[in-house]
Structure 1
């Protein structure tokens, strides 16, 4: 019975292949994805997200000057698909990122990746490529070991400049006698040692949870955005696709009961904290762009990534995750 079923399946596939060859020419597709390697470790990790708008080139021929046969840009999900007519042998071709986007557009990581034939059936050949990476100029501040590593793209430190040689002294008979120079009269007390100036106070950061940002008496601490700013305008088109175009940040702070609403609530509080702190300060997310990048990366990834990013936002809003624990510095401040 099983043998008869297999013979029938093979007959159907053969007939379908003959029909495909008769109705249209063969074609070849190359597919893959590009990720932003935020920590510049050369591998896809937890902090990396699919990169939109990156330029990918398919090159063949090898050597120092390979021939570029096709180019394509990645979509919103970081994927690309390049279609070519015919059935060329692409096993000796490679794919590489030739241009990144945003803060992750500095350079491609590593050598070009080779194409692998996934299947060839019914006049269609599909080639795949391992994940491609594009890197920023510097590793992000929240990456593990960021302070102990130096980016290979950063310029070397300049050697300290040497002071020029002092000009030679004139001959002895042309020097002015020392006894003709009047000695300076130093006032009493001028020569006494003075206390050094006090060191500047370290930058004080702030981190407040979503429930404190939602209080009406703390609305005066909102920077750049307002409670009526829409989520779509604050976080971009990916958030608009998930949460709609009418949801406001005030309503986002009330989200609960669903992991995506929890992610949005904690990301909104992190965005407000990033606006409230000075750029590059001690808050775990030094810029608002890093908050938006992690939010979009979670929306494009799995549910596990959504839970991880939500928990990480929540820890940062509570003052943790950095070198020191940050307080909420408008505690006890007068109402607006």
Structure 2
């Protein structure tokens, strides 16, 4: 599901670049770059999208291919390169020519071939599998990682073998010191004390339940201290991705999103924002209907890419989850566990 979401984000970025084209026909190449921290040549758990990497489109093949276009990746690791006309890019490849920061060893990334996604109305979209840029050394937390010693240089002289130390000579018996036994430490006698016996509790202590709160609870000022990871001033585009930013604008904040009503898309954003805050507030994999924040973002973007009926259905599901629906057994309603914040000291 995560791979599908990243692919959708790359396609949306390509569409946004193609919309700015003024010529009759144009070609767009879109993809993403990841930092391969484990240096295993594949996307893993510790890999993340790489910002500012330099990607080149090369054609012609051979040892010295011709570089057609170059571009840098955005904050989400995606890139889109637009070219006028409709050239045939089936024999072209994309590769990372310059990494950034920790993942600067871009020469280790292999080139990937371009694939034609669709061609219509004078617009041709080519996609490329995820590109990788590797660091100098693999991360210590990677599975099966072992630090290897550097091989000796061919021009360095061979090291002389270290002679084994000579065994120590035995000490003469007239110089040996007599062995002394360690002193015996004895504790003073203590009177036995009666240990209090724990009284059995008549009622078992129930485990803490999950929490589900509606949008008006999260919008109240006395509950502002319970916001996690995101803040009321975080933009919708930063919280839900570029697809939501294209729909609702790049300056709309989460505080303003909780006030949306009167339109089914604003209602969807309001309920999705409350569900995102509930997912951040609860432990991952808990009793909340959406156990992770990625599932909330995935359903939100899926509704924006579908029909109006899907928008209404997802908005109703978000509203049911925020109202406490979807408990451990599917029937128990979850309470709203938001205590009022303490007033600030003057």
Q: TM-score, normalized by length of structure 2?
A: 0.44
